[in-house]
Amino acid sequence: MADLRDITALPDLSSTSGRVGPVRSRMPVYMDFLPPCNNACPAGENIQEYLRLVKAGQEHEAWLEIVKNNPFPAIHGRVCYHPCESACNRGCLDQSISIHGVERYLGDMALDKGWAYPEPETKSGMRVLVVGSGPAGLSCAYHLARLGHEVEIRDAGELPGGMMRYGIPEYRLPRDVLDAEIARLEALGVVITQNHVVKDLLQEQAEGRFDAVFTGIGAGLSKNVDIPSMDASRMIDAVSLLHDVAAGDRPLIGKKVAVYGGGNTAMDAARVARRLGAEEAIVIYRRTGEQMPALPAEREEAEAEGVKMHWLRTISEVESDGDVQVEIMELDEKGRAVGTGRFETLQADTVVLAIGQETDSNFLRQIPGMKFDGDLVKVDPFTLMTEIPGIFAGGDAIRSDKTVTIAVGHGKKAARMIDAWMHNRVASPKRKHPLVTFDQLHLWYFGDHERPVQSELDLTNRADFEEIVRGLEPAEAKFEAIRCLSCGNCIECDGCLGACPEDAVIKLGKGYRYRYNYEKCTGCATCYEQCPVHAIEMIPEH
């Protein structure tokens, strides 16, 4: 396959007007393009490849393909917001592939069958300290261990997992799944030390003879908001509520709960409140529903469970008798929410504050030369190394969107950069293949097939924390893999072989694709026109 990375700069030679002249002016080449799903994955998964393996009935190989980049498919198949599916070209034809469903299917199969991570080929003798056992720290430790390094994670929490354990409710991520994924990491040789608060990082690095450090501390602190209250005990923050519930506590919050905020954490807090016995859970948000930062699916699921939304409202005061004074807002000419001076009163036994989270980076501030952006650590955007050589950071500790998959991607990237740094190698960015779009495909034999719907726990049975969404059945997972269009990469369909009028296409055997006999090729572009996946490009004749 040709590696023409600058193909987008070439003129469009695909038109068949005046198909063949006395002198060939263009020629076909086999190409590898970048599928949009792969491009959109924050963890860098080769989604197209593992779907191909599932289609071929090679589930174990498909799981091994995933864990090259992401060690926790059973987790991500449940909690990732799957931007890969939003980018999927199939969505322009009928519906995007249920990529997260197939990933969960493989992750659950791996847990059921006891599949283990591949062992490193060699041991480096180098040691790395990872601070934080959340998704970024666990991912970094995994990839470092796969590279042959000795890794220890130190974390202040009671159990590993960070915000995956203490921020994501169990009805979305069952703890036995989280524990099993982490246990596989420990079986790889990663040492996890809990209930360990790192206070002096440089001292711990020196005493432990660690060659490098990665800090993946999470955003476990709630942002403060100044709301006058005559009874502060009636106000709790969402992070603490979710943490306490995840730790096994069942706080008494009363029958009426108001959640202040509009993000995904606010949706989780309201849904948890319902499971704790609240007959009424109201989300109060100062802007409109369209401006809400929570994902539409999160909001829809909360509303389906009875959570009510109060848009264009802001809490001005919490009184001791259960009254909550709320100011009505409106949008100005620039779309900003501004107060109107009009108020209404709501009843709430508890007010849950879900207005954002911060990172506790204070232990890093004593390190001379370390730079910060507010509560976040400043890093080189390519290497993720801080201003201190050998100390790297990622996940919620740096400026980025706060999702599990982004944090796992940071951990993978940091591990590779740490490995390069410890071996005195200069890392350089990898050039990507050109991205293939839907309008470049020639889908002459693909029919419309809607994706299967994952069954969910009935709304009347959601009084506890039982997992809501069920996984795909084997036949459904394989069907989804078959629906993949294999955008930009040859599927050996023999279309070019059969379409060529000059017999210029040579088949090289299964897995080796094709090549052209350019002595026979006239440049007619028939092969290009029929290639369903756009694995052929027309380029100028040289």
DSSP per position, 277-333: T-SEEEEE-SS-STT--S-HHHHHHHHHTT-EEE-SEEEEEE-TTSEEEEEEEEE-T
Determine the Cα–Cα distance for residues 500 and 494; give it in Å rounded to an integer.
10
Distance CA 339, CA 461 (A): 40
For the record, the structure tokens of 254 come out as: 């009363």
- One-letter-per-residue 3-state SS of 482-539: HHCCCCCCCCCCCHHHHHCCCCCEEECCCCCCEEECCCCCCCCCHHHHHCCCCCEEEE
Tell me which amino acid residue 134 is: G
pLDDT at 3 over 70: no
Worst-scoring range by mean pLDDT, 2-6, 194-198, 212-216? 2-6
* pLDDT tens digits along 379-427: 999 999 999 999 999 999 999 999 999 999 999 999 999 999 999 999 9
Please count the residues of the chain: 542
d(CA 252, CA 256): 11
pLDDT of residue 308: 97
Averaged pLDDT, 327-348 = 95
Indicate if the pLDDT at residue 18 is higher than 50.
Answer: no
Contact 535, 32 (CB under 8 A): yes
The enclosing H or E element of 176 equals: helix 175-187
Using the structure block, give the residue that is written with the tokens 């996946």: 533
Burial class from Cβ neighbours inside 10 Å (0-12, 13-18, 19+) for residue 337 reads middle
User: pLDDT digits over 110-154, tens only?
Assistant: 999 999 999 999 999 999 999 999 999 999 999 999 999 999 999
> What's the average model confidence in pLDDT over 492-497?
95
Q: Is the pLDDT of residue 225 over 90?
A: no
Assess whether pLDDT exceeds 60 at residue 9. Answer: no
**Beta carbons within 10 angstroms of residue 73's beta carbon:** 29
* Residue 228: per-residue pLDDT: 83
Q: What are residue 478's phi and psi, to 5 degrees?
A: -65, -40
Domains of the chain: 7-33+489-540 (3.30.70.20), 36-115+458-483 (1.10.1060.10), 127-220+359-422 (3.50.50.60), 224-355 (3.50.50.60)
Confidence of residue 471 (pLDDT cuts 50, 70, 90): very high
Rounded to an integer, the average pLDDT of 90-101 is: 95
Flag whether pLDDT at 1 surpasses 70: no
- What pLDDT score does 333 carry? 93
What confidence tens digit (pLDDT) does each residue in 200-211 have?
A: 999 999 999 999
pLDDT tens digits, 500-531 = 999 999 999 999 999 999 999 999 999 999 99
| pLDDT score of 241 more than 70 | yes
Q: Which residue has the tokens 């740094």?
A: 421
Percent of the chain with pLDDT over 90: 85
pLDDT digits (tens, 9 = 90+) for 258-267: 999 999 999 9
- Count of beta carbons in the 10 Å neighbourhood of residue 415: 28
